[in-house]
Structure 1
């Protein structure tokens, strides 16, 4: 079923819904199908991000039936939607010490169980809390660093104003192609990553210790999921100009808006004559120090996970061969790119 049919089915379900909470669930899913982020929908409906994520996951797994209030694919949840929102917001935005657990600064399953019992008079085992958090869209992962010089205000401005305005222009035909662009270095000697091995038989990855690599340029079409990529020996302004030429060939007609970071080559004076000549190509710069706002960053992680990490390439050209095959495979299944990379913003 395509998105248009899904939206039509949701509209019909909304017209027939007599329960306000059920109507809200249908509306949340419809808004996401129309391109709104979980954050945007949560703000509109006054719900936590995790609640909207849970509606979407339930819909994807069980369809419209899964959104019905009496539908229970597993053990019934003991908490109301309002209590789940409060739980999600507490775990996401507060430390245990903020809510009365003195000298505790990291949430554990037992602390969350204790908090639930204290606030809602409901008892959960640690396993039950783990399953509950997973339903709310949480995962057990390491914290990550963020750049100290990043401006939270500028990032929020991009999320709530700049990018929604670009999407609106795309929808209304004022923009023909909206792209995210980035560069990356793919090394022959990549980091190791977790994988499944038989106990006592951990794989040993051969390496020469050399740091050869390919410089990759890539642009993802926000609407179609199509990827344009180019391999270069150097990541300099001339290579970037050649990639911009590829973009113009890939999209021979229409106005192109390309979202990218503030790398030095993106601001080089040599770009001006090229952009003056090709006025249908416009560069839109992200806030400084904001790599997570560039959806192409997820592509590089995908490449490393599926193609590069835990693999020894005896000949450097084989890296390029593998990367090219990977990009070709993604372009044959653009919906996978949309689902994995383009719904994050």
Structure 2
């Protein structure tokens, strides 16, 4: 959906955008300006953390009402207690702060906007806003994105030498498999135990190995008493 503003209206909206930076009207103004700049409806929704239906509703209101009435008009929509600007703030909060339970987010909404949501109502709202409750993704705390990018560049050079028959590429690592039985979950009769025999110690086997990247059947293996990483 395209929006083409006269120069005077565009300048007026720019001024209002600065004045309403901490106001509910900021999002309404910014939606129109972004569409006027040629941004797609989907991109505007993604950048502002809104639903595409909300963006479309703003555009229709602007087209039907004109600038003056549009800025003074706030349609309730179907989102309930929060305005579109407050919903955008909620999305930002969820994306920047780790919430493991709706209870803490309920408290934040009440402190910030005096919005009283039940746990079920807030869960439903988060689903409508595009969020889901799932496991977090573990990332090594010492991961260095720049070093990883440099390694991939070096790896590309090595791969080129391998293809020309000038080198052989190996990947090497150490492994420490434990020599011990581990319990797991199984179907058991209620009130009864299912014993599992274990070994008497927790000894580990230390293995150093290198694998040919282009011939996985070629493995170099060395078992040692210890491994110094």
Same fold per TM (> 0.5)? no
Select the structure with the greater relative contact order (CA < 8 A; seq sep ≥ 6): 1
TM-score per shorter chain, which class?
Answer: 0.3 to 0.5
TM-score, length of structure 1 as denominator length: 0.30
Choose 1 or 2 for highest CA Rg. Answer: 2
